[in-house]
Amino acid sequence: MSERPDEDSKTEDATEKKQRDAIEKGNTPQSREMATLASLLGATCILLFMATQSTYGLTGNLKHAFVHIDVIKLSNSADAINIMVHFVGKAGELMLPPLLLLSLAGIAASMAQNPIAIILERVRPQASRISISQGWKRIFGKAGLVELFKAVAKIAVVISVCAFVLKMETGRIVNSMLLPAGSIPGLVLELCAKLFVGVMLASLVIVMADFAWSRHKWRFDLRMTKQEVKDEIKQADGDPIVKARLRSLQRDRKRHRMMADVPTATVIVANPTHYSVAVRYQAGVDIAPVVVAKGKDLIALKIREIGKENGVPVVESKSLARALYTAVEVSQMIPAEFYHAVAELLHFVYGLESRQENER
């Protein structure tokens, strides 16, 4: 009862991070019926293209053994072992291609659903795998009922297909009693191939339904509560309080660096009460004038104060100060439309410096 409210509160779809973590731990959507269909397809290919040749090959070996039975040495256990090894080797040669085909079919079915990955989490011992209560839930829970429904559906499909094929081939089966014995294996092989093809085609519906169900159930089981989604977003984006503190520290460091560059300025353009923009231009070094610091209100006053302490001229120009503050960021060159206005200020500053030197 304690788990029910928690399950009911899981109303949100799983985030991409949770889906990715589940896949990394080996929790992937998997349709077992697709592997069964792949095995049926492989078995059908074996019956249609390989069974006849394999059967004739094995029959030829047995026939050769019986025809030349008088020359086969069978006087001791070593001879018996040699004969057994010979026939086992021949049978292995005939069975190896079908086994490889069935193995490849199973691997292809798994790869079609999920990429191959080595996941050690799947083989890690877990108490839930040997828990009686968990096993009881798996058998009699919703997943167990779905598996029971699929098993009943598969049995019904096999019985229906077999009944249909046998009914259609009743005449040939009855007439086969009048045919030579050598034609019976071919008839049996043909009937088996038809049964396999019929079951495989009929199973397509079950496979598609199971494929869709497996993915739906996987997403349903990964659902999250609203609080879990919020916690994950907070973890991914960072704590807002910490982020705000970091931004504040970054602004402080940026401001300190900016204030440290004020003494390098050539002129400070100021609006008497609100804006200050420190501009540097060194002939032969700067391609164009560069804004080394800017600010308004208290920061503007601090820029003017530092500039005066370091002998940087302060020129009041309300419109130019406001325009530079708005259009140019710190450490950027001024745009071309400000060249004329800034050049006049620099010319004024250079002239002022020249007059001061002459007075000295």
Instruction: Give pLDDT tens digits for 252-304.
Output: 888 888 888 889 888 888 887 788 999 998 887 888 899 999 988 888 899 98
The model carries a pTM of 0.46
Residues 6+ apart with CB under 8 A from 32: 210
| pLDDT in the model for residue 3 | 45
> Is 317 in contact with 345 (CB distance < 8 Å)?
yes
Give the Cα separation of 220 and 233 in Å (integer). Answer: 20
Q: In which residue ranges of the chain is pLDDT below 70?
A: 1-8, 50-74, 114-131, 133-141, 181-182, 236-240, 242, 353-360
| Side-chain-side CA neighbours of residue 350 (13 Å) | 10
| pLDDT in the model for residue 5 | 45
CATH of 242-359, one of 1.25.40.10, 3.90.1720.10, 3.40.1690.10, 3.40.50.720: 3.40.1690.10
Domain chopping of the chain, boundaries: 28-221, 242-359
